Amino acid sequence: MTTRGDGLRERDRYRRASIREQLGGEVEALRRHPGIVLIVVIILAGAAILVVSRPELLRVTKLAAGDCLYVHAADAQQDAPGRPIGTDTGVVNALYADGAERASCDLSHSHEVAATVSFDENAVAPYPGSGTLTERRLTDCQAAFAAWVGRPVEGSELDLLVAVPTEAAWKDGIRVGACLVERRDGGFISGRMQGSGR
């Protein structure tokens, strides 16, 4: 107990317990109930594991060649029968609106980044349309796909998705895109596709 030079505890002197006295009482109560201590430790450990194991969220502006991703497309497994990863439009919309989870390349993932691309327009330039932006970076992305996979898109079991800014992202000043490798059948990728020749 905390005492003053006059021998009085702070509780007696000021009619309130000091923080040290309050904590001392709580610690003493916990010592008498080890089950509660165990439950608190388990809860805190579980919360720490959830924080540490939470996948890293990447915005499209932070993507780099070699990143393996899990994109949460809104139409995945719902409006796209046979395409568990979602339609290309759904993937692009989700990527620019919400970002993507960084995934382990050795485990199941929806896409791999073969390269990133940029556009030269300034922040106030009107949106040229996704078709125009895709056309402008298609050749670059085809070359990046071939270099990444080890074969051209034609004849590959994999496919190329040229992800370019949506109109909303463009209005927000986003001027980057990505050359994404995905499975042609819309399924998840198992293992890294770099140099796979598939």
SS3 label, residue 90: helix
SS3 label, residue 100: strand
Centre a 10 Å sphere on the Cβ of residue 26 and count the other Cβ atoms it contains: 10
Residue 69 to residue 94: CA distance in whole angstroms: 12
DSSP string, 61-83: GG--TT-EEE---TTTTTTSTT-
Element (H, E) at 133: helix 130-149
Work out whether strand 57-58 and strand 100-102 pair parallel, antiparallel, or are unpaired: antiparallel
- pLDDT over 80 at 103, yes or no: yes
Residue 103 to residue 101: CA distance in whole angstroms: 6
- Residue 188: HSE in the Cβ half-sphere, 13 Å Cα cutoff: 18
In the chain, pLDDT over 90 holds for what percent of residues?
64
Q: Which residues pair with 68 in a beta bridge?
A: 112
- pLDDT over 60 at 80, yes or no: no
Nearest to 158 by CA among 124, 125, 187: 187
Q: How far apart are the first and last CA of the chain?
A: 73
What is the arithmetic mean of pLDDT over 40-48?
Answer: 70
Lowest mean pLDDT among 13-17, 106-110, 125-129: 13-17
SS3 readout for 150-183: CCCCCCCCEEEEEECCCHHHHHCCCCEEEEEEEE
The dihedrals phi and psi of 74, each to the nearest 5 degrees, come to: -65, -30
Residue 192 to residue 138: CA distance in whole angstroms: 22
Tens digits of per-residue pLDDT, 109-142? 999 999 999 999 887 899 999 999 999 999 999 9
| Helical packing angle, 34-53 and 19-32, nearest 10° | 100
